[in-house]
Each structure stands twice: as C-alpha cells, then as structure tokens.
Structure 1
Amino acid sequence: MTTATTPAYRVTPTRVLRSEWHKLWTVRSTWITVLTAVAFLLGVGILMGATYTSDGGDSDVDTVVLTLYGSQLGAICLAVLGILVTAGEYSTGLIRASLTAVPRRTPVLWAKATVFTAAVFTISLVTALLTFLVAQIFLSDTDQAASLTDDAVLAAIAGNAAGVTLLGLVALGLGAALRSVPGGIGAFIGGVMVLPEVLGMLPYDAMETAIRYFPTQAAGALGSATPMPNAASPGAALLALCLWAAAALIVPALLLRRRDV
C-alpha cells in the first residue's frame, strides 16, 4: 500500500519573494544600474551646490528640486533596471524556469514588482537624503540654504523617491508586457518621456491640464517643496502615478494568464 507524501517544499508568497530578491541582486546589471543612478543623483547634486551663486539664474528654483536635479537621470537608469527585471528574463529564457516553479504565474510578477519597489524606494530615499545634506554644505551661505526640518522639505525628498520608484514600476510593467528589453526601453522613452512633451505643444487647454497627470510630470510635482506652477498637487500627482503604475502592471498580468509563456 502506498501513502501520499507531502512535498518537501511548497510554493508560498514568501518563497517567491525570496527567489525574486536573490535574482535581483545576483545579476551584474542590477549593480551597474543602481550605482549609476546613485552616482548621477549624488554627483549632479554636489555639482549644483558647489557651483551655485545667489546672483545666478536659479534663485527662484525650489531648493529640493535644485539639489535633486540628478534624479531625472537616475530615474532613467532605474527604469532600465525595471525593464531588465522582467524583459531580461525573457531574453535569457529564465522566465520558463520561473513560471514552471510558480504555475499560477502572476505571483512571479507581483513578487518582482514588490521586490523592485522596496529596493528602489529605499535606495532612492537614502541617496536623496544624502545628496540634499551634502549639497546644503555648499549652499549654507546662499539664498538656497535649507534644512530637513523646514516646511515640506522632507516630504518633497520622500516624494522624489516615490516618483522615481513609481516611474520604475511603469517601466517594469512595460518590460513585462512587451517582453523585449529594447522594446521596453523604447516604449518608456518614447511613450513616458517624449510623448508628453510633444502633446504639450498642442494649443489646447484640456491637453495642458491632462499632461499634468502624465508620469514624468506627476513625478516632478511630487519632488518639490513649494507648489509648482501649472502642476498637479502632490496628492493628485501621487494618485495619478499609482494609477499609471497599476495599469502598467495589470496589462502583463492579464497577458501572463492568456499566453503560453
């Protein structure tokens, strides 16, 4: 008589998360993109602080925006990382092993998104805080002098990190939907970064209002300690970015259920 045996290992959310965490940090591209993003943010912030003069043309720029200019370049690097996290597995064929190990499929996508969000937000927040503090060493005797205890400064720094993270999630979703690294990068640059600039040239008030809630514009509104002209409020910008990220992830989740791989 045979007896049923319980598998030694079961697929659980914790184990899927642990697997994706190990996959994220054991590939060289993760370290390259993360370190490049950190270098851009920190390097540009220090450069802005070291070269700033009170009688220059940037006196009307928000202090947090000024010191975190490099986040625009860093966001591109981390968006590339998001695309590599998903589309990269399709290019190497590793996705077949991942989906075989997790037959329900969508937990793999949610685990990738969760691990990516936790890692990128933490790195972005710590780097932004460090960049702001170092830049303020150079700005202490100028009209851009500020501290973390000033009104809305800490919230703007956290908003900057949230904006960069959510943009990266949009890119991760594009990579998962298109299953191509070049295609994902092209879609992100063309659709997320360039398209709003093109639409902004159209002479329609409704279009100008709508563009405020596009991903890159919403992320910019989150990272300012003072209200930006012709920009969405921080709350509305955060909601818009969350909806963009959710939409970018729902599409590949549906495709995972319908496609063979």
Structure 2
Amino acid sequence: MTAATPTALAPTAYRVTPARVMRSEWHKFWSLRSSWITLFSAYAVILAVGITMGTTYDGDDSEIDTVTLILLGTQLAQIALAVLGILVTAGEYSTGMIRASLTAVPQRLPVLWSKAAVFAGIVFSLSLATVLATFLTAQVFLEGTDKAASLSDPGIARALLGSAAAITLLGMTALGLGALLRSVPGAIGAYIGGVLIVPEIVGMLPYDVVDTAMKYFPSKAVEALGASQQLPGAASPGAALLVLALWAAASVGGAGLLLKRRDV
C-alpha cells in the first residue's frame, strides 16, 4: 500500500459540491450588514403595524378581513424584502464579487440556485414566525371585538402561512430580476413598475378580460393568499399560490438561462 500524496488528496479536499456552494452563500448572506438591517426593518414593521391595528381598532374597518387588517405591515415589508432579494444577486454584480463566485463555481447555475434556496429558507422561516407572533399579539388587544380570532378558526392558519409564502415568493421574483438585469437600481425599478404600478394601470381598462387577468398579477394573488376568507372576484388561495410560484419560477429560471449564455 502506498501513502496518499497531497496531490492526490487535493481534488477531493477542494471539490465543488452543492452543499459547499450552499454554505458559501449562507455565509455571504449573513456577513452583509444590509441583510441584517433589511430583515430587522421589514419584520419590525410587520409587528409594529399589527400591534397598532390591534390597539387602535374601533370597529370602523369591520369589512376588512381579520388577517389582512392585522398584517397590513406586510405591504411595506414586501418591498423591503424584494430589495433584499435584488441585493443578493445584483449586488454582487455591482461590487464585482460575482467574478470570484463564478470562478470558484464554473458551472454557474449552482451559485444562483444556492442564492435562491438560502434566501427562500431564511425569508420564509422568519416571515412565518413574524406573522404568527404579530397575529397572536394583536389578538390580545382585539379580544371581544368582531376581529377576535384564533389559529383554530377556519382559514386563519392558512392565511398566515399564505402570507409568509407570498412574501417569500415575491422576494424570489425580485431576486430573479436582480440576476436578469444585473443592476440594483434597474431591478428595483422593474420590480416596482411591474409588480406595483403596471397592475394598477392595467386594472383601469374597461374590459372583462382585464378583470380576469388581474386575478393573476402578483399583487392581487398576494391579497387572495393572505386573506382568511375568499375575496370577491379574487383567485382561490390555491390558484394564487400557484400563480406566485410561477412568477418566481419564471424570474429565477430566466435568470438561470441567461447566466449560462452570457459572459460575466
């Protein structure tokens, strides 16, 4: 038997594996101060707005869904987390760090998939924990009102889970846009325009087909997914989840396709 030489061990010791790429992206995500600040700000807004809704509710908003009322803060958090998703991908192009990442992982696609997986895992876990904490805290103040509810009530748990999923999928869509456009300002502009502004403009057109199509825009799907009861004229929660997943898949998948074809 011959002893293994350092040369023979080197290829195995430094072999690129999915687990190692994922670990690298995990460390990059948490090493950035912007990640901490954005996450804290987004979830603090959700909790603060939820508590405010609970403490100030006087019955004037009785027509609004209970979960929707409590989680009004997610509308602002969605924008913050979308920007974070863009920074995860486009941010590396702005600093030039993407060259080192793709040099270390020549196949390229594992870098994008790992970024998406790390982002989705972190955002979904923290979003679910935050919306649960916000709902339970707000219910302390809403006891005895028409907005009093518990996790065991029909549609409540699904709406909370749906809200966390919606936040995550919107962020994934933004992450894909960042990888597609490779520009932080450009991707933010495209996200705000495509997700927030264009649907409102299209919705003003006086055509029946527009009303049908509006159900499947991300902003409308988010509303349907985060409500504990079926909203009039909205898609079902299952359809809304599928729509958001398809938007995210199209964004990230398109970024993956271009990543293989374009130079850094």
User: TM-score interval w.r.t. the shorter chain?
Assistant: over 0.9
Which residue matches 1:43? 48
Q: 1:176 aligns with which of 179, 191, 203?
A: 179
Root mean square deviation of aligned Cα: 0.9
Please, what TM-score do these two structures have when normalized by structure 2?
Answer: 0.96
| Equivalence map 1:217-232=2 (5 Å) | 217-232=220-235
Residue aligned with 2:90, SS: helix
- 1:255 maps onto 2:258 in alignment: yes
Q: CA deviation at 1:216?
A: 1.4
Which residue matches 1:148? 151
Residue aligned with 1:213, SS: coil
Residue aligned with 1:226, SS: coil
Which residue matches 2:57? 52
Which residue matches 1:9? 14
- Residues 146-205 of structure 1, C-alpha deviations (whole Å, 9 max, x = no match): 011111101100000000100000000000000000001100000111110110000011
Q: 1:237 aligns with which of 221, 226, 240?
A: 240
Please, what TM-score do these two structures have when normalized by structure 1?
Answer: 0.97
Residue aligned with 2:8, SS: coil
Q: Distance in 2 between matches of 1:170 and 1:21?
A: 19
Q: Distance in 1 between matches of 2:103 and 2:217?
A: 36
- Residues 127-157 of structure 1, C-alpha deviations (whole Å, 9 max, x = no match): 0000001111110021100011111101100
Q: 2:84 aligns with which of 76, 81, 85?
A: 81
The residue identity in structure 2 corresponding to 1:188 is: Y
Q: CA deviation at 1:5?
A: 2.1
The unaligned stretches of length 5 or more in structure 2 are none
Q: Distance in 2 between matches of 1:238 and 1:217?
A: 11
Which residue matches 1:138? 141
Q: CA deviation at 1:105?
A: 0.1
- 1:123 maps onto 2:133 in alignment: no
Q: Distance in 2 between matches of 1:137 and 1:206?
A: 43
Which residue matches 1:63? 66
Which residue matches 2:28? 23
Residue aligned with 2:206, SS: coil
Q: Distance in 1 between matches of 2:15 and 2:256?
A: 22
Q: 1:194 aligns with which of 180, 194, 197?
A: 197
- Residues 100-145 of structure 1, C-alpha deviations (whole Å, 9 max, x = no match): 0000001100000000000000010000000001111110021100
The residue identity in structure 2 corresponding to 1:173 is: G
Q: Distance in 2 between matches of 1:125 and 1:11?
A: 32
Q: 2:38 aligns with which of 11, 33, 37?
A: 33
